[in-house]
Structure 1
Amino acid sequence: MLKLKSALSLSALLMLLLQPVAAHAELPEFTKLVEMASPAVVNISTTQKAAPRNAGAGLQQMPDLEGLPPMFREFFERMPQMQPRQDQRQQPEAQSLGSGFIISADGYVLTNNHVVADADEIMVRLADRSELEAKLIGADPRTDVALLKVEAKGLPTVKLGNSDDIKVGEWVLAIGSPFGFDHSATSGIISAKGRSLPNENYVPFIQTDVAINPGNSGGPLFNLDGEVIGINSQIFTRSGGYMGVSFAIPIDVAMAVADQLKAGGKVNRGWLGVMIQEVNKDLAESFGLDKPAGALIAQVLEDGPAAKGGVQVGDVILQVNDQPVIMASDLPHLIGALKPGEKVQLQVLRNGNSKSLSLAVGALPADGDEPLAANAAAPQHNDNRLGVSVDALSAEQKNELDIQAGVMVKSVAEGPAAMIGLRPGDVITHLNNQPITSVAQFQTVVKQLPANRSVSMRVLRQGRASFITFKLPG
């Protein structure tokens, strides 16, 4: 029996000693992937002629990136070369460095728009160190994708994957030129997918923990099958360098953009003509949702596709062509991927009931018109349990705000209205899911508000609409 126990103990000890070896054997092996993919990854450098400086100018200053909240940066920002001023007649050149990858043997190259923006000359350096001048076929700032073309044949190309198939936790590899070090490979995992970043409404970013630094911009992100699943684009940083949070443009999004750029030099996107906001827990309760989900319609632009298709303020869009809208940021991704004129089926929640709407999406305009702010109110007001005095809107004010009805906040006393941040000049158009048509009707709705339950209110402030929630004490 003692010998048996000793043998078991020795076996257990051997298993413990072999565990690190087994774990090491399970780690991915990237050497073949790098060998196969590197030839199609390129270094991109640009030159931009700078304007003559004033006589009193000294060194060119590096751009201030600290003011970009919340510290999201296009980390491959074009950095002017710091050099002393010489002759005003000379035109110093600003240079930028980034990465890209070849998608066709006849010389089409994908990279980021911010790598080549405003460039006078674009040079592509191949893996064999030869350099070719590139022509910009087209660029799309909204997705930060640019398509280049070099005159060559028989070039090595990457294998394109499907970014819809990626899973959080899978291994990925990036190849690029951080700080000018060509064909540097870094690895990590996918941390999240479908991320929305500030001012980036049309890209569901892939988040990774791959080490990405200035110069990696525009380079490919590979899965373990050697397929490109994304274009490295941005990082989250407090220091200006890598901090473990990197973002890539899904290759499906990038190729859809590239195909349009190749065909016509520009990108057309679907557009509804609405302003949306996130549905939080309190709003979900006020609209009768079991949990927060969907995109809440805060404003519908007059004569826009949504208005013509019957979308109303207060609708919560839950599905687009049978695809769920989990977060409000999902809606621009889904609609933007459609072609102008294409039919779309929307599933919305309206007054607690599910409703299906069919409409044709429009074309996203280059610039949107902002609604006008309200003027002073007419001299009629009432006090109520919200602690707010309101006035009727004049016909001129309704016309300026492009609304049919509502009341304007004249003053705010201590109470619920002050606690939720209402200000004089705000316009209340909906309360407790009911349109506000007059001061008298507003007072009636206020008297009927339930206690200890989330209530929604739609407010226009300086022409912008949003829903807020509050609870009245019992």
Structure 2
Amino acid sequence: MRASPWLPVLLILALGAYLLSQGQPTFTLVPREPVVSATLPGTLPPATRALFEQARPATVRVESLDPQTREAGLGTGFFISETGQVLTAYHVVSLGRLFQVSTLEGRTYRATVTAFDARADVALLEVQGRGPFPYLQLDSRAPKVGETVLAIGNSGGDFLQPRRGRLLRLGAEAGRADFPQGTLEMNAPLAPGDSGGPIIDSAGRAIGVVSYISVDGSGQTRRSYAVPVMDGDNLITALRTGEKRDAPVVGIVFDPVHSGLTTPAGGVIGRVVENSPAARAGLRGSAYDREDKLISLGDVITTVGGERTRDANEVIRAIRGAEVGDTVTIGYLRGQQPQETRITLVARATLPGLRE
């Protein structure tokens, strides 16, 4: 992934964390007893420590796996109902087909994805087990800048450990169109594995779902970001009613090195996904020789729906401004020849070969 214009590096949490490989085509997830830390961090103030002990039983480790591709995800989630609804980040479960959650008391449950919003990076799981489960209530008020917040997650090999910080900004923009917008910005030291975990206010209510981080040149977390959630808001209402809102795509992977640097500037296609709308429209990616040296650049997308697009980020933003099923006009250069095509957008989940 290319860094956003104003963040040194953006990492979607949970990348690089994998489940153990097991089995063949009939693979099933096997429960693994979590290692529960008996000693809580001694750096927490008494009030925060009490809050952590109260909220920790409602948080879970979330694991996902696609047995065909062997792609896996590891993150965090939290119960939002006593019947077993678990809120987490969509990117933790987006590549999986099998899911399980592990609780503080050492139990492991299978789960299914019942709803999601890909653009908001939030998903809802349903645990296959008998409740009642401990759960976190969602706040009904908007958070305030400056308040202390608590995150609980699974990064660094920990199991449901606290990360404390302060809320710095509301409505933060990611700087990248393929990341959620309008997030809560914090200085809590989050890392891969914490994704999908709760952001908890001083009253013990969840106000956000951890989504992504920015890091400095040494790899240390600079800022953390969470999707805001409120009891009864449009996002939570849609998830509770089972809506599945996928991101619209055409089936292209951009060249992160050359996009935005051509003349005229545009989003350079690095690869076209097989059997995608882009492939059927005849769009072309970059060509390489046997030594992986660039022979020729792919098509350069300069407009989407009549809107000027100067780099890959602007192309993605324009496409995500439409809906699955919409038909958009894409203008591009092949060499120096301007061309145009009309493409109907499809849901990202329908293109397993797409890994943007």
Q: 2:200, 2:182 → 1: CA distance?
A: 17
Q: Does 1:231 align with 2:209?
A: yes
- The equivalent residue for 1:243 is 221
Match of 1:366 in 2: 324
Shift of 1:255: 5.6
Matching of residue 136 in structure 1 with residue 113 in structure 2: yes
In the alignment, structure 1 residue 118 sits paired with structure 2 residue 76? no
Of structures 1 and 2, the one with the larger relative CO (CA 8 A, separation 6+) is: 2
The answer on 1:262 being equivalent to 2:240 is yes
Q: What SS class does the counterpart of residue 83 from structure 2 fall into?
A: coil
How far did residue 121 of structure 1 move?
1.1
Deviation at 1:97, TM superposition (A): 1.0
CA drift at 1:36: 0.9
CA gap of 1:185–1:255, structure 2 versus 1, over 3 A, is farther
Contact 1:160 1:227 in 2 (8 A): yes
CA contact (8 A) 1:145 1:258 kept: no
The number of residues matched between the two structures is 225
Aligned 8 A contact 2:191 2:221 in 1: no
Asked whether 1:208 is paired with 2:186, we answer: yes
Measure, in 2, the Cα distance between the counterparts of 1:249 and 1:136.
18
Query: What amino acid does structure 1 have at the position aligned with 2:67?
Result: K
Shift of 1:28: 7.2
State the match for 2:146 in structure 1.
Answer: 169
Give distance in 1, aligned partners of 2:177 and 2:193.
Answer: 22
* AA partner of residue 225 (structure 1): A
TM-score (norm 2): 0.56
1:94, distance to aligned residue in structure 2 (A) = 3.5
CA distance, structure 1, for counterparts of residue 108 and residue 212 of structure 2: 26
1:100 pairs, out of 57, 73, 77, with 77
1:285 matched residue in structure 2:
none
| Partner Cα distance (1:368, 1:131) in 2 | 41
Residues 326-365 of structure 1 mapped to structure 2, 5 A cutoff: 365=323
Residue 110 of structure 1: CA displacement?
0.3
Amino acid of the residue matched to residue 323 of structure 2? P
> Shift of residue 237 of structure 1?
1.9
RMSD (Å), alpha carbons = 3.5
The yes-or-no answer on 1:218 pairing with 2:196 is: yes
Indicate if the aligned counterparts of 1:203 and 1:253 stay in contact, CA closer than 8 A. no
After superposition, the Cα gap between the structure-2 partners of 1:28 and 1:194, relative to the gap in structure 1 and judged at 3 Å, is farther
What amino acid is aligned across from residue 230 of structure 1 in structure 2? G
CA drift of 1:140 comes to 1.6
Q: Which amino acid aligns with 1:365?
A: E
Counterparts of residues 294-305 of structure 1 (less than 5 Å): none
**Structure 2: 5+ residue runs without aligned partners?**
1-44, 248-302, 308-316, 342-356
User: More helix by proportion, 1 or 2?
Assistant: 1
Distance 1:268 1:177 in 2: 26
- Point out the structure with max Rg over C-alpha: 1
What secondary structure does 1:203 align onto?
coil
CA gap 1:185/1:268 in 2 versus in 1, 3 angstroms: closer
Corresponding letter in the other structure for 1:44? V
Conserved in 2, the CA contact under 8 Å of 1:163 and 1:251? no
| 1:49 counterpart residue number | 67
Kept in 2, the 8 Å contact 1:213–1:241? The answer is no
Whether the 8 Å contact between 1:189 and 1:208 is mirrored in structure 2 is: yes
SS of aligned partner of 2:134: coil
Q: Label 1:211 to 1:202 Cα distance change in 2 as closer, same or farther (>3 A).
A: closer
Q: Which residues of 2 match residues 55-74 of structure 1 at below 5 A?
A: none
CA gap 1:36/1:139 in 2 versus in 1, 3 angstroms: same
Cα 1:163–1:182 shift into 2, 3 Å:
farther
- Distance between the aligned counterparts of 2:169 and 2:185, measured in 1? 5
- The answer for the alignment partner of 2:53 in structure 1 is 35
Match of 1:449 in 2: none
Q: Distance in 1 between matches of 2:146 and 2:137?
A: 21
Structure 1 residues 123 and 136: CA distance shift in structure 2, 3 A: same
Q: Secondary structure at the residue paired with 2:159?
A: coil
Structure 1 letter corresponding to 2:162: A
Q: Does the CA contact (< 8 Å) of 1:257 and 1:267 recur in 2?
A: no
Secondary structure in structure 2 of the residue aligned to 1:158? coil
Gaps spanning 5+ residues in structure 1: where?
1-26, 52-92, 270-298, 303-312, 314-331, 337-362, 376-396, 401-474
Paired amino acid for 1:237: V
How far apart, in 1, do the equivalents of 2:86 and 2:219 lie? 26
Q: 1:178 to 1:241 in 2, by over 3 A?
A: farther
| Distance in 2 between residues matched to 1:202 and 1:96, nearest whole Å | 19
Q: Tell me what 1:292 maps to.
A: none
Q: What does residue 126 of structure 2 align with?
A: 149
Letter of the 2:113 counterpart? L
Q: Is the 8 A contact 2:199 2:207 kept in 1?
A: yes
Answering whether residue 204 of structure 2 is matched by residue 186 of structure 1, we say no
- Distance in 2, Cα, partners of 1:189 & 1:126: 27
Other-structure match for 1:325: none
Report the secondary structure of 2:47's partner residue: coil
Equivalent residues of 2:58, 2:78 under 8 A apart: yes
Deviations 1:423-467 (A, max 9, x none): xxxxxxxxxxxxxxxxxxxxxxxxxxxxxxxxxxxxxxxxxxxxx
- Quote the offset at 1:364 in angstroms: 5.2
Q: Secondary structure at the match of 2:57?
A: helix
Distance change in 2, residues 1:194/1:235 (3 Å): same
